[in-house]
Structure 1
């Protein structure tokens, strides 16, 4: 696998981090860099008055070391920043891993990291304001490895077929973990996942699968499975970009629910660095016991992002709540803000 293909294989890390790092040190095969971003906005909705908010501000530090014979060691730590309130928890962990990469043998990472599953699922998770909420549902998404994954060992590699395209493969394993809530403890057994994608002529097709047992309240337990399919064309922020994601979630015992989640995005970046996008998301839940089907959410967002410089971005968006079930009150949302990349 050549270095260009390796970059493609792990490109999903850019989906979630949109990283812009500044190299602070580079000498004798060692580098050290700092990155992240700060975002502030004014936002509101039909249900709530306008307020000052933020959008996942973070800071990270990364280091690499040339090990010789084509191997490179890498370490990274990233933390959420609490910008708006005085708090004892000013920093919370987003990423923390050590890895080794090789142009031919692939890359291996250990720690809290972006999962191979997200290599496939993250192709629509790109606008700053509104995108891919279903991947981050609840507090345990990092324990199931849909986006960032806690306690994971991962491996990625790929094959370059020249004009015939490139095949990328990723696998991941997570150890056991518990999640404590006010109502009890949810126990996650070790989980495994794999991801497969094929890129050719600006298009990318992908599939990923994640599985592992979960033990919930009352001792009920069973497999919690995720299947995700994606397709994308182009590069977000560079002309036309089209992408879609479908995720099937199957809780085979604990809650005995299935959910079908969809996200579609169409974006076009103008030559003046104005990027316009529209995205649609819906989640439908089927309760197996009651044999009922309902819409958990259905939303359409119009968004705009403008790069005033490479580090300073203004953004705005309006999200229409399209859910229309009996007794439901819609809650349209809006936001206008700015992001500065460190």
Structure 2
């Protein structure tokens, strides 16, 4: 779960895992390694669906060294690999975060490489599911991107983030929960550039409010995205909601059935709630998205996401956890899904 990300935006950028092990610490240089192993059993629904068992592993490292008083150099690399060798899976190894940069004691961080855009912080409030989630943000929030310059700064309770992405001839679009396997989807779009900015404030009484904007310029069109979010924490209770909107120009995509859509506008909202009872976490959420424009060759409106989710998680200790999650898909002709998993973090 990532529900603390808004309260610790700057530490979260670099502190990849609470279980990270320091492997070197001398002369002002520190290096840490971290990772996880996971096995999940799932049913993705469908007329010919079957129950699958899927394994994956994640490995990362981070390093920091002092350049001058109040200035540190940063580096991070993180990859995920599937345990599967199934036919048609052409991306067994996927890079998640690969960057280097600078940390300023009084001025935040600047990194160069692949990581989340600044827009992610505007929608992060509802990113609490292990497997599901993100249905309201499909196509709108682009996921982790390469070739970026990203700034994150936190000053008291105030947060500010900005990012710029250079040209990408092999643009990949993040779809679905960014922690669920390999969410990036290859597109035939060439990105000229994009820029994003997010501001927010975390109050002392548990309320956090954020707003973000992300403009993406493609060779064949452009996409302008905005998001507003609010979250509230009170002891073991957590509540959050996000509203998103995207204006598209000459952007097309094909659905799973090969039908071409050319929407002019996407709007959506995501609502989540969670409650912790000792080692048990119970959480739920509802995501909705609507598209307006030319859909399957016909102008009009159509629902593109109506997902109700339930989840329960148990933490055996600080390293080991297990969960069960269920998704009820309210779209016509769609099937429900479920997922059971165990995960070890180090």
Q: TM-score, normalised on structure 2?
A: 0.82
The 3-state SS of whatever aligns with 1:120 is: helix
Match of 1:125 in 2: 127
* Contact 2:126 2:270 survives alignment (8 Å): yes
- Provide, for residues 251-309 of structure 1, a one-character-per-residue CA deviation record: whole Å limited to 9, x for no partner: 123335211122111000112x1000011111111116854110112111110111101
Q: Find out whether 1:314 has 2:310 as its counterpart.
A: no
Question: Cα gap change, 1:191/1:202 in structure 2, threshold over 3 Å: closer, same or farther?
Answer: same
In structure 2, the residue corresponding to 1:190 is in which secondary structure? strand
| 1:82 Cα deviation from its structure 2 partner | 1.7
State how far apart, in whole Å, the 1-side matches of 2:247 and 2:12 are: 24
2:259 is aligned to none
State yes or no: 1:114 paired with 2:116. yes
1:341 paired with 2:345, answer: yes
User: Which deviations, in whole Å up to 9, do the C-alpha atoms of 1:188-237 show, x marking residues without a partner?
Assistant: 1111110001110211100110103212xxxxx332111011111128xx
Unaligned runs of 5+ in 2: 1-5, 173-185, 252-261
Report the equivalent of 1:191.
194
Q: Which residue of 2 aligns with 1:258?
A: 265
> Using the alignment, how far apart are the partners of 2:223 and 2:208 within structure 1?
27
Pair 1:243-2:235 in alignment:
no
Partner of 1:280: 286
Deviations 1:70-93 (A, max 9, x none): 111110011111212278854221
Q: d(CA) in 2 for partners of 1:51 and 1:206? A: 38
Q: Is the 8 A contact 1:129 1:315 kept in 2?
A: no
**Could you tell me how far apart the structure 2 residues matched to 1:25 and 1:304 are?**
37
Structure that is richer in helix per residue: 1
Q: Check conservation: 2:222, 2:249, Cα contact below 8 A.
A: yes
Alignment of 1:172-251 (within 5 A): 172-179=163-170, 185-200=188-203, 201-215=205-219, 221-234=220-233, 239-251=236-248
Secondary structure in structure 2 of the residue aligned to 1:123: helix
Q: Could you say if the C-alpha distance between residues 152 and 134 of structure 1 is closer, same or farther in structure 2, counting changes exceeding 3 Å?
A: farther
Q: Is 1:80 equivalent to 2:86 in the alignment?
A: no
SS in 2 for 1:23: strand
Q: How many angstroms does 1:21 deviate by? A: 1.6
Flag structure 1 segments of 5+ consecutive residues without an equivalent: 1-5, 161-165, 216-220
Q: Find the aligned partners of 2:84 and 2:207 in 1 and give their Cα distance.
A: 40
- In the aligned structure 1, how far is the partner of 2:134 from the partner of 2:43? 19
8 Å contact from structure 1 (residues 44, 334) kept in 2: yes
Deviation, 1:44, is: 1.0
Partner of 1:95 in structure 2? 97
- The question of 1:301 aligning with 2:309 is answered yes
- SS for the counterpart of 2:119 is helix
CA distance in 2 between partners of 1:307 and 1:171 (Å): 35
What's the TM-score, normalizing by structure 1? 0.83
Alpha-carbon separation, structure 1, partners of 2:45 and 2:163: 41
Distance 1:20 1:292, change over 3 A: farther
C-alpha distance in 1, partners of 2:210/2:187? 36
8 Å contact 1:245–1:264 — kept in the other structure? yes
Q: CA deviation at 1:57?
A: 3.8
8 Å CA contact retained: 2:7, 2:202: no
SS at structure 1 position matched to 2:321: strand
1:65, 1:136 → 2: CA distance?
38
